[in-house]
């Protein structure tokens, strides 16, 4: 969908420099093969990311008192021109940006743009479809969706009213007005359902039942789970199934779902622990398989990558599996994120 230029260049002192930096970022993402859809390429070319990250944080060392990471802020109104230049360069780097830090803990971020492009590509969205985004973040991803589909087709949701307020302001500054809703991500947004696509930018331990109930039959849910991205095709309000993408994905957990479970590594040699595909198996089967057993399975099955794993939802039951939903290797998902 052609949205045209929705911002006022005269009101943005960084517009010209940002245009050049954004063009470089688009070339970098396109070189990876993730902007083959002209609609998504246009969105990345035209949505000004720097308006969504007026400041962000860089890890600057270790705190002396509690060992917590110390973050230094870069922001657009810094009096130091070199720090302002670093801020603008960072806004268009192909890297995640820490945007909210509380007591040394990262609570919100802007995802790596190339990963966002991969996720939007995997969403397989078509004109006229309605999308629910779980996790508003800075509003940048919602702006990309709104550019592609139109404001009326996009809803973005977050539990934290400060995050939704900030996202709403960023979106307005960039000329977008999708629905920005404050609420529990696990419960979705029933008032604007049904949806053709649900995309989450926060990790879940299992798939909230409420999401399925707010989808049209045939809808697609794309969500981070167990350091991967699962793409689920929805049959109805109680049934969905799909496979993980090959792409690694590390996201902040959905608020209210609790911290991710500790992944056991005792008794394992260091070499397999360095392999990302093995660590994924440890994550997806946490609590249901001893580490040495997981290592034996991984090696026996040819060191499978993420794309060989999947997830099935059947009513109250959810499980992850290797190669076949009814095969020998399957692990219950949980704790359940039920929603209502």
The residues carrying an active-site annotation are 108
Q: At what angle do helices 38-46 and 15-31 cross, to 10 degrees?
A: 150
Cα separation, 182 vs 188, in Å, equals: 10
Cα separation, 34 vs 30, in Å, equals: 6
Q: What are phi and psi of 213, to 5 degrees?
A: -65, -20
**The pair of three-digit structure tokens given for residue 251, joined into one six-digit string:** 């996201």
> How many helices and strands in the chain, by DSSP H and E?
10, 14
Element (H, E) at 42: helix 38-46
Q: How many residues are recorded in the chain?
A: 340
* Beta-sheet pairing, 215-225 with 195-200: parallel
Query: Across the strands, what pairs with 116?
Result: none
β-sheet with 105-110: strand ranges across: 69-75, 55-62, 97-102, 105-110
Cα separation, 124 vs 23, in Å, equals: 24
Nearest CA-CA partner of 231 in 219, 239, 213: 219
Cα separation, 171 vs 143, in Å, equals: 6
Cα separation, 94 vs 28, in Å, equals: 8
């Amino acid at each position: 969908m052609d949205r045209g230029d929705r911002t006022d260049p005269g009101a943005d002192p960084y517009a010209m420099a940002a245009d050049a930096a954004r063009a470089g970022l688009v070339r970098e993402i396109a070189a990876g093969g993730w902007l083959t859809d002209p609609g998504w390429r246009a969105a990345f070319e035209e949505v000004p990311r720097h308006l969504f990250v007026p400041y962000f944080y860089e890890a600057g060392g270790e705190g002396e008192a509690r060992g917590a990471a110390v973050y230094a802020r870069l922001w657009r109104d810094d009096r130091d021109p070199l720090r302002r230049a670093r801020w603008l360069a960072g806004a268009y780097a192909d890297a995640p940006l820490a945007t909210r830090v509380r007591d040394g803990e990262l609570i919100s971020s802007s995802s790596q743009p190339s990963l966002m492009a991969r996720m939007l590509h995997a969403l397989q969205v078509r004109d006229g479809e309605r999308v629910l985004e779980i996790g508003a973040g800075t509003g940048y991803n919602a702006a990309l969706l709104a550019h592609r589909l139109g404001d009326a087709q996009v809803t973005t949701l977050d539990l934290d009213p400060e995050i939704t307020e900030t996202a709403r302001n960023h979106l307005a500054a960039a000329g977008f007005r999708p629905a920005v809703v404050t609420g529990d991500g696990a419960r979705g947004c029933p008032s604007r359902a049904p949806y053709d696509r649900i995309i989450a930018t926060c990790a879940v331990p299992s798939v909230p039942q409420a999401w399925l109930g707010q989808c049209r039959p045939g809808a697609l849910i794309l969500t981070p789970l167990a350091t991967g991205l699962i793409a689920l095709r929805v049959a109805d309000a109680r049934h969905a199934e799909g496979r993980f993408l090959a792409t690694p994905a590390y996201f902040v957990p959905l608020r209210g779902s609790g911290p991710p479970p500790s992944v056991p590594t005792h008794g394992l040699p260091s070499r397999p622990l360095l392999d990302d595909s093995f660590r994924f198996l440890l994550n997806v089967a946490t609590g249901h398989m001893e580490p040495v057993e997981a290592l034996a399975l991984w090696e026996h099955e040819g060191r499978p990558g993420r794309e060989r794993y999947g997830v099935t939802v059947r009513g109250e039951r959810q499980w992850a599996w290797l190669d076949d939903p009814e095969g020998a290797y399957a692990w219950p998902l949980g704790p359940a994120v039920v929603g209502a």
